[in-house]
Amino acid sequence: MAILNKIRQKTVVLILVIALALFAFILSSLFDNKDVLFGKSPDVVATINGKDISRVEFMTLVEQQQQQMGPNATSSQVMNRVFDAKVREAVMEGQFDKLGLSIETDQMRDILKNALSTSPEFLNEAGVFDESKLKVYIDNLKSTSSQAYQNWVNYEQQLAVGALQSDYFNMVKAGATATLAEGELEHKLENDKVDIKYVQVPFSSIADSTITVSKSEIKDYISKNKQSYQTEASRSFQYVFFKEVASAEDETKIQEDLNKLINDNEVYDETAENKKRTEIGFKNTTDVADFVNANSDDIKFNDRFLKKSALPETLADTIFNKEIGFIYGPYKEGNYYKLSKLVGRTTLPDSAKTRHILIPFVGAARAPEDARTKEEAVAFADSLLAVLKSDKSKFSQFVTDYSSDQGSVENEGRYDWFAYDRMVPEFRDFAFEGKTGDLGVVETTYGLHIMEVEGQKGSSDMVKVATIARKIEPSEETNDKIFRDASTFEVALENQNFAEVAKASNYDVRPMTAKELDESIPGIGNQRQIVRWAFEEGTDVGDYKRFPVSGGIVIAQLTSKSEAGLMSVEDASVTVLPEIRKNKKAKMIMDRVNASTLEDFAKSENQNVRSSSAINMKNPTIAGAGKEPMVVGTAFGLEEGQTSGLIKGNTGVFMVQTTKKTPAVELENYQPFANQVSTQKLTSVQSRLYNALKDAAEIEDNRAKTVQ
């Protein structure tokens, strides 16, 4: 009771303590999520000129784009495509708003008409776009599928944005024409000519090893050329890939298993009274297709004849001239061990010409909704065949009236001179295994074909080969060993150096530097999870982690971090060092030379006086020295016979003398050159304008933080 009384007496103090504790808890949570505290939602993928792109909107667009680009496109490729499109949309919308550009109803109608003018579902009987059909189509979408209708709305928006962009760029292009004064300048740049004599002391004449460059000089150069040395954030890491590959023992076991399939085998059978039964082997099986399909990995029985050139080289020479039943192998081809049996031999035409009438039935591929039943189709095809057997002249009319193969109707149902392996098996066999003039009904997955063989060309010896393939894969024991090796390596890293542990076990250590949105890692493909880990706030230099990947296990260690901004001295040195050396060499040459004539300069530097003629400003290239705009510009500024001072060029230090100046011929009209300048401007204005608008935009990219 005494304790309770004391608590009652301190009620106010207790409430304050609890309130402070709650406040501290909330404040801590806010700072843990500082983006929220400062008004940035973790669900915002990007902010472009103040406009947010939500994660939900972005991922919906990514999903749609993935469907368009197909399964071969990586997630990063798809996301980059969507992000670039959204940036473009946001950047351009700002310009549209400033100018008051919009797409009105009538214009949208014309845009849709142009976009859909060749779509069959919107054309009338005369092949002309029918707006009423489009209206019915949109109404059906509204009533049947909200998602399909939303996709249509998105499509219209894309068309509208594209039209607005076209209008905007066309307006800019209209003002990008060149004046006659620009045409005259272009004419002079191309046709003002100068002949020169010059002496060049190449920078290569001074060995790089004699030039000392300090880190402070590199740093100073970077700071003076910041624009050229901006870099994105990056992470460097090293990794060992424990690849799940079959061992030599695994491959031997696969070959042994294939050898066991060749002959009949006595096998133990608990369901049989005598406890044993004979299992028929590849050599004696009467159902080759069934045997192959039951025992082969991935590659199933191929029921067609092959020319020798179509067989694998390792197989062709051995099996092509053997007796039926001959078995070759096991042999290795690609990532498989194979066993091949010669099951047939024939001589067939190289190509065939046929015509056909396709009668589809319910259940056949691409059959229309109102197709006949199979029984009805058989009866109808037989009736047509009976007529054709007595009068083949009706074939063309029957094709027009009854065939559902629109690809051949215009050619009277005819397929001209196709190769053996082009058609489905049943169609192929009738065309190649029959003879010219044969007429009959053939059933394929597409329906019933009333076929006539119209011709056959050439002939080749061919064979049919049945092949059992076993994929070369690591066994469970091998995979267990790989797992143990990776685990042992990981444990050893707790107290030892990554590279030293790898070297002790002869593991290959691979270095990698990645930017925040990268996903591909050499040798192991798309591994976004590793890059994401390297950029996580909690990952420090020296940390390592194990990653299960397709085909094995990766153990990676972060080795360095580089934040966005100016390049480090080390990273920039590759390009900065040559420039600083060039500047120092130029100064060395200029400081030691005291000459005012070409001859003196050449003599003092052990060089020759050379000549170059007909140089223009449009292409400032000097014969024997390459592109040297500074030197050429100086030459044009001299009078005939005048000699320049020392000039620092791209490839060395020059002294130049202008020997002859030939001005361009004056023209009465410079319009052709003005047109030439206009064309140059129009070719680049769209990309350059957009890039300028994009550079001026405020773009905050949060993809790496919000999209996994």
pLDDT tens column, 569-585? 888 898 999 999 999 99
Q: For residues 57 and 39, what is the distance between their CA atoms, to the nearest angstrom?
A: 19
Cα 391 from chain centroid (whole Å): 56
Query: Which uninterrupted H or E stretch holds 376?
Result: helix 374-390
Alpha helices, DSSP H, located in 440-513: 476-492, 498-504
Query: Is this structure's pTM higher than 0.85?
Result: no
Summarised one tens digit per residue, pLDDT across range 505-524 is 999 999 998 888 888 888 78
pLDDT of residue 36: 41
CA–CA dist 408, 402 (Å, integer): 12
Residue 702, token pair as written in the block: 């949060």
CB 110 within 8 A of CB 131: no
What pLDDT, on a 0 to 100 scale, did the predictor assign at position 133?
84
In the chain, which residues have pLDDT < 50?
A: 1-8, 13-14, 17, 23, 25-39
Three-state secondary structure call for residue 135: helix
Bond prior to 330 in cis (omega within 30° of 0): yes
DSSP 226: G
pLDDT at residue 597, as a whole number: 95
Contact 579/228 with Cβ under 8 angstroms? no
Query: Which residue is it, tokens 């009706």?
Result: 394
Sign of the Cα pseudo-torsion (331, 334, 340, 342, in order) = negative
Q: How far apart are CA 362 and CA 60, in angstroms?
A: 37
* DSSP state, residue 179: P
Q: Which of 365, 370, 401, 363 is nearest to 383 (CA)?
A: 401
pLDDT at 79: 82
pLDDT at 171: 85
Q: Which helix (H) or strand (E) covers residue 468, if one does?
A: strand 460-471
Q: Is 460 helix (H, G, I), strand (E, B) or coil?
A: strand
Distances (CA, A) of 70 to 45, 59, 61: 23, 16, 14
Chain centroid to CA 216: how far? Answer: 41
Give the CA radius of gyration of the chain: 39
What is the tens place of the pLDDT at every residue in 471-497? 999 999 999 999 999 999 999 999 899
